[in-house]
Amino acid sequence: MTNTAHLQPPTAGLPPARLSGTKRVFARVFLRDWHPVLRDPLDLFRLSFPIGALVYALMGNWDAALRLAAPGLAVFLVRAIDVPRAVDWVFCTAMFFQGWGNALHLFSRFWWYDNLVHITLPMSLAPILYIGFARLDVVPDPSKRSGSNWQLAGMALITCCLGVTAAAFYEVYEWVVDNWFGQHLFIGETDTVTDIADGFLGAGVGGLFLAVWAIASYTTRRLPARMERRLLAEGR
């Protein structure tokens, strides 16, 4: 007789009461708003930036404090835009790599760390920029217009271009702080070209992500509260 136990879904063996409790816990921890100010685990993650900046400032390390304060401002600005949680998580993670990587000098310790940051930042920032322009009616909203493959390709291309533009702007920023403020970022022709190539890769991934998001017709805003109520209702 063929053993089909391994073909059962992970929740198949769970009793209904336990499965109901799991859904409730998931909804309450990850989907509901705990408080208007501190909404969910992602907001706790954001607090690592100002707290870290304050600790470094008290220690007298103002360079590390500034390098954490700037990404901290960025993650709270994105919070105000009300982007989808998946995009928000990726962006906060990328800014975590950027801010804490500078504060802990990880860029000089690991050769691959610079590539990681220059890929993840455009990858997360490109969809956010597109969504921001969609809110201004400059481009179509991904959740409302995905009727043809050409529209999807256009969304992905514009998103990629926005991400590449952001990556190129960051290279200009690096040159300015290195040459005008003496930050010693060890920039050069090879480093700049490599960073822009990483930016192309990350922005391309961000464009493909937005196209898939449009195909699924997901909202371009944070998960509505009604989704939490529906999941809680299903768990009853």
**pLDDT tens figures, 203-236:** 999 999 998 888 887 778 876 555 545 544 554 4
| Cα angle for residues 194, 196, 202 (degrees, 5° grid) | 105
93 vs 220, higher pLDDT: 93
- What's the pLDDT at 202? 95
In a domain, 6, yes or no: no
Give residue 120's pLDDT band: very low, low, confident or very high (50, 70, 90): very high
Mutual orientation of helices 62-81 and 85-103 as an angle, nearest 10°? 170
Helix or strand run (H / E) with residue 207: helix 189-215
- What's the pLDDT at 5? 45
Two tokens at 164? 């590449």
Structurally, the chain folds into a number of domains equal to 1
In a domain, 4, yes or no: no
Domain region containing 186: 16-234
In a domain, 5, yes or no: no
Give Cβ neighbours of residue 89 (< 8 Å, ≥ 6 apart): 42
In a domain, 110, yes or no: yes
In a domain, 2, yes or no: no
Ramachandran region of residue 40, left (φ > 0), alpha (ψ -120 to 50) or beta? beta
In a domain, 85, yes or no: yes
166 vs 219, higher pLDDT: 166
In a domain, 206, yes or no: yes
How confident is the prediction for the chain on average, in pLDDT?
80
